[in-house]
Structure 1
């Protein structure tokens, strides 16, 4: 469950603060958030630009509370939705206590990483460079790391190497982040793992299965609205609508004799059952909403708003 008890008084010497997980698309930021928090709060996918909302994951230890802000991957935007996502990521850099700049250690430093690094040079916020995917480096590890160490030397940043997938190096990363924080209160109840409502997480779990099962065919033209949640003693009934931009995308999502929609619903239902720790009945509908990513009205309706 997502938790939600009362907020206690923090003991003497307790630390707390906000950690912005920043980086280009598809470097493993959401996988890292889930690994740090200890359970799934952010969706992951091989498709770039999976994260859309500024999702906050919460880790509470006996000595500290870390609130992780998982931001959309920083990229060159091609539509109104893209502009909102990148602007929100930039704002996150200035509104956190520590920036964790995540890079993909299985490939050399690239132009996208340099672009993010350039943005970070303009902030007064403390920065840690996290070299992710250490499990994929194999024999080329030292040569790949060197390209990132040159970047670190130029900016005097701390650097930590880890694998968000396997958990290797995560305890050291967690400790380094705690050391960067100032003494502070509990911002959230200790058993809470995210500040997002369950309905939002439900919608994200459905969207994750669409990304995984349709891959490049319907990548980012999808938004989910949860239309109804009815909690009964033995089952929770959920009705949700999948919004797409074109009739062809609707056809792909429904599939032959409804096979794709059934597969998406079945996989999403299993994930939602883990979220709420109970049985779920999930019914999905598909609706065509032309050019919704260009519409400010639709963006607000579907929950994508520009941060202030």
Structure 2
């Protein structure tokens, strides 16, 4: 938790904020910075965030529940379509929507789609230009696009615009002020000591998957999934068995690496981070399994939480 984070002193502002946008605009980095804790995995790979993650910030002003959604992208296959569907559905029934745009790149088709979605919303909308630490500034192009959409849709929506850098923290305190101003007054939605309601098995699987992404880069991350089979919680150490799914036998060798070095690195790095998260030692046992076309298998997608 950050130093400012504390138990609320009674009823304050309390609400749910959906954080949306196309892939790789920095939504998960932004959530982690706002909470001062890592609750979402981060990488430059499309589809890094595959599940809807609730991150809970409790402080004297009240409580805010952030929905970190999968990034909308050009979908290929059932999994991609399901992730896009989940992201678009996340804005329903929330108290405010935070659209994150990449200020350093020109508007993409997915940005156009989200701006059109915001033009139909009745609740508070905040648009944050992320990556303000980079020299290239395309914010005027986004605002021109918004004005065109607003005119076309005859929309009365007036979003709050702000600029931030989720990487170095610029503008983040101001963004948090804006968000608290735009959620209703009410009691906390969760107990004060909960940071996320994300299931432990999925969180551990995500940490392992993040480490795989860091080593595999663009080689085959979309073909990789992780499922935690079992957690045995000892007093001093937790033993975890997890399966790493790939689609072809050739991919299995890539994940294991020469003489098992890549898989060993992933295990060691994941154990280290999980210890920092949970305050207990971890012993990970990782199995690499070939599951042909798992991204098209409804039951596997459902088990992984992607369907």
What secondary structure does 1:238 align onto?
strand
What secondary structure does 2:287 align onto?
strand
Unaligned runs of 5+ in 2: 2-6, 151-156
Aligned to 2:195: 193
Name which structure has the greater RCO, CA cutoff 8 Å, separation 6+: 1
Partner Cα separation in structure 2 for residue 150 and residue 185 of structure 1: 39
Unaligned runs of 5+ in 1: 2-7
C-alpha RMSD over aligned residues: 1.7
**CA displacement 1:146-204 (0-9 Å, x = unmatched):** 22233455452110100111111111000100000111111111121111122221110
Within the candidate set 255, 258, 263, 2:257 is matched to 255
Aligned to 1:132: 130
Partner Cα separation in structure 2 for residue 119 and residue 180 of structure 1: 19
**CA displacement 1:224-262 (0-9 Å, x = unmatched):** 111121222222111111011111111100111111111
Partner Cα separation in structure 2 for residue 109 and residue 88 of structure 1: 22
Post-superposition offset of 1:10: 6.9
Moved over 6 A (4+): none
What secondary structure does 1:134 align onto?
coil
Aligned to 2:172: 170
Aligned to 1:43: 41
Partner Cα separation in structure 1 for residue 139 and residue 73 of structure 2: 23
**Relative to structure 1, is the Cα distance of residues 224 and 20 closer, same or farther in structure 2, using a 3 angstrom cutoff?**
same
1:55 aligns with 2:49: no
Within the candidate set 139, 143, 149, 1:149 is matched to 143
Instruction: Answer yes or no: is the 8 Å Cα contact 1:129–1:152 preserved in 2.
Output: no
What secondary structure does 1:195 align onto?
coil
TM-score (norm 2): 0.91
Partner Cα separation in structure 1 for residue 46 and residue 145 of structure 2: 24
Post-superposition offset of 1:128: 0.6
Partner Cα separation in structure 2 for residue 91 and residue 233 of structure 1: 40
Aligned to 1:11: 10
Post-superposition offset of 1:84: 1.0
What secondary structure does 1:136 align onto?
coil
Post-superposition offset of 1:267: 1.1
Instruction: Answer yes or no: is the 8 Å Cα contact 1:152–1:158 preserved in 2.
Output: no
Partner Cα separation in structure 2 for residue 55 and residue 199 of structure 1: 13
Aligned to 2:4: none
Question: How many pairs were matched up?
Answer: 294
Partner Cα separation in structure 1 for residue 10 and residue 235 of structure 2: 39
Q: List aligned pairs for 1:1-308, cutoff 5 A.
A: 11-12=10-11, 14-137=12-135, 140-141=136-137, 144-153=138-147, 154=150, 156-305=158-307
Instruction: Answer yes or no: is the 8 Å Cα contact 1:74–1:116 preserved in 2.
Output: no
**CA displacement 1:249-301 (0-9 Å, x = unmatched):** 11100111111111111111111111111211111110011111111111112
Partner Cα separation in structure 2 for residue 304 and residue 124 of structure 1: 29
Instruction: Answer yes or no: is the 8 Å Cα contact 1:235–1:278 preserved in 2.
Output: yes
Partner Cα separation in structure 2 for residue 157 and residue 150 of structure 1: 14
Instruction: Answer yes or no: is the 8 Å Cα contact 2:295–2:301 preserved in 1.
Output: yes
Post-superposition offset of 1:9: 9.1
TM-score (norm 1): 0.91
Partner Cα separation in structure 2 for residue 58 and residue 152 of structure 1: 30
